[in-house]
Structure 1
Amino acid sequence: VETAIVDGETIVTNDAGLPDFAALRRAITRRQHDLYFVAFDLLHLNGHDLRDLGVEERREILLGLIQPDSRIQFSETMPGGDANAIFYLVDQAGLEGIVSKRLGSKYRSGNTTAWLKTKSYTVSDLELLGVERERGKPAFALMGEPGTRKYVGSAFITLNREMRERLWKRVQEHAGPAPEGVKRQATTWVKPGLKGHVKHLRGEDKLRHASLQDFWEEN
């Protein structure tokens, strides 16, 4: 190989051999020797544009380039079957998601239906720090780690109308000072004692694509 453009993702594995996003962020600055590059597509090779080849042909060429036991690994194709069943197994294994490419598809930049990245979600019990409400905008619950009240991100409030009204009443009754170091506009902060179930993307340090599913008052 003289020159190549390879599509893939850098990972760090945990003790179970699964990709660990938090460990990846630490390794980038402190433990580069733990990094692996998992290659799943090949766009250019030695001056030749391969994007008009089908994905199977591109991956066959890519497989032939990767040396065994190297820091570059080949992302193996999963066996065919029911997509929902395959994703269920990925989710149960604790993986962050799965990349799917349409058989025979050419490589095209930008938005396309030829490939999909389907992420896994998880639910965490977090502490409610406050609620951000602005006229004409969605309401967000600001969440923190239980016990430490360390801010971890915001969650879209998807509760029904009755539960939203009950939540706002509880927030007003428990109004308190903002956590140290956190500044957000149009936010009513609450004292410790309110918890919530938050659905969010797995494998992230901060909440992403998060929604508040339920809340309760801690005894």
Structure 2
Amino acid sequence: MTADADRPVFLDSYPTSYFCPPATRAGPACARAPSSSSLPPSAPPVGFDDKPTQQGIHGYPPVADGFVAHDAWRIKASSAVIDGEIVVPAADGTTDFSVLQNELKGKSTKIVLVAFDLLYLNGRDLRKLPLIQRKGELKKILIGTDVQFSERFEIEGREMFAHACKLGLEGVVSKVRDGSYPKGRTSDWVKKTCIQRETLTIAGFALDEGKWDGIYVGRLKGDDLIYAGKVDHGFDKASAADLQKRLKPLIRKTQPYTKRIAHKGIWVEPKLLAEIEYRAKSAEGKVRHPFFRGLREDL
């Protein structure tokens, strides 16, 4: 399942949210799509382009170049410049940037190219054509290939945004349906991210050369404490000092997680709860872009 606009959907845990520009661009005038993540773009070597910067996958290990190039050979065009990104979809359709990074380290057959816009086709510049027309041309040349076409959803913005957030996506990207391919930032492509909150258990904290470096959190599943990520934003000097003071009496020698993690930390008895704000969760349940909002002493 994918969507239209700046980034594909792929029911990603890293998706990003976007709204159409105000009132006049609501409704059918806009094409909306849940976004997967701000993953690296695919580009030049095999005819794929990342919007303004034209950075390509030639910066990645050979596995990415080779895999995407293999898909590119099947595209029904003598030449094309496509705007897209590479992802590694999980069984539930979500994508995770950390999983992609791991896949790029070896020989992977799981990498998928998701295409959402077409800039040039057979030497013809399509950038001034309406988005809806460019996507129509793109869909035609991708038929029969392994490249994933990013479908569009034409739906009321608030409804799409609420649904994307409910699914745990990072958000939604909106584009003006009849808009041309823009240069640089523009109000024709609008991004809005979901913000989620969850009460998580503090499993430990980290110090970097004696200075506060955040907390490790976990999610209780029955009697098991499952690693949910590291939170290093949302602290000022006072809150960091206060939290460290609260955690020191709880220090223990071993990790409280049911399954050990590779990170080094100062582990504590899992007794304190923290309110964590974040944009999305990875396929493994780790919070993305987490922010500490305070201790939950009412639970």
Q: Please, what TM-score do these two structures have when normalized by structure 2?
A: 0.53
- 1:12 paired with 2:84, answer no
Against the structure 1 CA distance between its residues 181 and 47, is the aligned structure 2 distance closer, same or farther, given a 3 Å change threshold? same
For 2:242, the equivalent position in structure 1 comes to 169
Against the structure 1 CA distance between its residues 169 and 16, is the aligned structure 2 distance closer, same or farther, given a 3 Å change threshold? closer
For 2:150, the equivalent position in structure 1 comes to 75
Against the structure 1 CA distance between its residues 148 and 13, is the aligned structure 2 distance closer, same or farther, given a 3 Å change threshold? closer
Task: Give a deviation string over 1:84-129, Cα, whole Å, max 9, x none.
Answer: 1111112222333322111211112322111123333444525262
- 1:111 paired with 2:185, answer yes
For 1:144, the equivalent position in structure 2 comes to 216
Equivalent residues of 1:56, 1:103 under 8 A apart: yes
> Post-superposition shift, 1:72?
0.5
> Post-superposition shift, 1:144?
1.4
For 1:37, the equivalent position in structure 2 comes to 113
What is the percent sequence identity of the aligned residues? 23
> Post-superposition shift, 1:168?
4.2
Against the structure 1 CA distance between its residues 166 and 212, is the aligned structure 2 distance closer, same or farther, given a 3 Å change threshold? closer
> Post-superposition shift, 1:181?
5.2
The residue type equivalent to 2:103 in the other structure is A
For 1:136, the equivalent position in structure 2 comes to none
For 1:3, the equivalent position in structure 2 comes to 79
CA distance in 2, matches of 1:15, 1:190: 33
Against the structure 1 CA distance between its residues 47 and 213, is the aligned structure 2 distance closer, same or farther, given a 3 Å change threshold? same
Gaps of 5+ in 2: 1-76, 219-224, 256-262
CA distance in 2, matches of 1:203, 1:3: 38
CA distance in 2, matches of 1:173, 1:13: 40
CA distance in 1, matches of 2:140, 2:280: 33
> Post-superposition shift, 1:75?
0.9
Farther off after superposition, 19-28 or 44-53: 19-28
Equivalent residues of 2:228, 2:287 under 8 A apart: no
After superposition, residues 1-219 of structure 1 pair within 5 angstroms as: 1-30=77-106, 32-68=108-144, 70-80=145-155, 82-124=156-198, 125-127=200-202, 129=205, 142-146=214-218, 152-157=230-235, 168-175=241-248, 194-203=272-281, 209-216=289-296
| SS in structure 1 at match of 2:104 | helix
User: What root-mean-square deviation, in Å, do the aligned CA atoms of Structure 1 and Structure 2 show?
Assistant: 3.7
The residue type equivalent to 1:83 in the other structure is G
> Post-superposition shift, 1:66?
0.6
Against the structure 1 CA distance between its residues 170 and 21, is the aligned structure 2 distance closer, same or farther, given a 3 Å change threshold? closer
Equivalent residues of 1:101, 1:116 under 8 A apart: yes
Task: Give a deviation string over 1:164-189, Cα, whole Å, max 9, x none.
Answer: 96774343354589x9857xxxxxx8
| SS in structure 1 at match of 2:168 | coil
Task: Give a deviation string over 1:42-96, Cα, whole Å, max 9, x none.
Answer: 112222221111111111111111123x32011111132x211111112222333
The residue type equivalent to 1:104 in the other structure is D
Equivalent residues of 2:277, 2:292 under 8 A apart: yes
Q: Please, what TM-score do these two structures have when normalized by structure 1?
A: 0.70
Alignment: residue pair count: 197
> Post-superposition shift, 1:19?
3.1
Against the structure 1 CA distance between its residues 27 and 121, is the aligned structure 2 distance closer, same or farther, given a 3 Å change threshold? farther
Greater length-normalized contact order (CA 8 Å, ≥ 6 residues apart): 2
